Amino acid sequence: MKVTDRRTLPRSNLSLTVMGLGCAQMGGLYRWTSLAEAEAVADAAWNAGLRYYDTAPFYGFTRAERRLGTLLGERERSHYAVSTKAGRLMVPDATVGAEEDGYVRPLPFRPVYDYSYDGILKSFEHSQQRLGLIHIDILYVHDIGRFTHGDRHEHYWTQLTRGGGFRALGELRAGGQVAAVGLGVNEHEVVQDALQAFDIDVTMLAGRYTLLEQRSLPLLDACVRAGASIVIAGPFNSGILVGNNKFNYADAPAEVVARVRALRAVCDEFAVPLPAAALQFPMAHPAVVTCVSGSRTAGQLQSNIDWFEQPIPPEFWDVLKERGLVEETAPLPSPAA
């Protein structure tokens, strides 16, 4: 599979390259990223043929959207797809510090959760202005669910369902301002709920269908039946599948470290880089249209591309399943995919 291959969202006929660029690093996630670094990554992605770019108001407290809009501003609009997110309004606030919510040197706009009808529409309009775009291809509801909100989940879920958030998404889609709508989340349970509440087109699912974790497999199967698509994000589970000890944005527990060690042992047997297996595994599921991975530098991006395109023998995947390292019913990549 080449990163320039395309898959189409069944509900919208929107076509995406099978690898996309995640832009949280443009907002300074975990360390400062200069505009020159962001430009180098964007240019490298474009030159490699990637044509799908994902961002959010939250990334760098609006910095990532502003940068992406500038960096894509001279490209032909019909040649690329952009997604952004709603669910937080970015309110001017002079007290924003030097590092907040994992972002280094964020801009002085404080995120305030709002999943209501007015909140979704206002967030979308602000994103249009920062990106410099009238039409945004995909709009995701960002971080709805108990993973983010804990005891406040029901309050925000009610905003989305009874408070008109989903209705706002439907109006934006019907009016042609967006081609597809859905969720951008770190948990699969809330997506099951959303499938029952609204006709979502696509979900960006971060870290929940990976080489390391497939508990969301029933959800992906349900998406196939519903004609809804999945965008894979967080394919390295916060980094543990690419060499660090982070899982779900925290230090990895012992049982996760042990499972990664077992995965790595099989990789060593077949001379397969673990990150290559991590990027290719989720693409085998028929619900998945693309995999989005962030890169801070052009070199990191090229490594991701090389791993994504590296040939892996079918026997490798078979051994993973034989040893119980992936779910028995999980689809496996094939050479013809």
Q: Is 54 known to be catalytic?
A: yes
Give the C-alpha separation, 103 to 114, whole Å.
21
Residue located via tokens 């660090």: 244
- Whether residue 111 contacts residue 58, with contact meaning beta carbons closer than 8 Å, is answered with yes
Task: Please tell me the distance from the alpha carbon of residue 236 to that of residue 314, in angstroms, as a whole number.
Answer: 21
> How many angstroms separate the Cα of 31 from the Cα of each of 97, 107, 220, 237, 289?
14, 14, 33, 18, 30
Helix axes 153-161, 189-197, angle to 10 degrees: 30
Q: How far apart are CA 193 and CA 159, in angstroms?
A: 14
**How many CA atoms lie less than 13 Å away from 176 in the CB half-sphere?**
0
| Active-site pick, 80, 85, 115, 117 | 85
Coil, strand or helix: which one is 2? coil
Q: Name the token pair of 23.
A: 């832009």
Token output for 241: 């599948």
Contacts of 103 (CB under 8 A, 6+ apart): 27, 28, 29, 59, 60, 61, 63
**What sign does the dihedral 275-220-11-122 (CA atoms) show?**
negative
Q: Which of 52, 53, 54, 143 does the annotation list as catalytic? A: 54
Say which of 59, 103, 113, 117 is annotated catalytic: 59
> Residues with catalytic annotation?
54, 59, 85
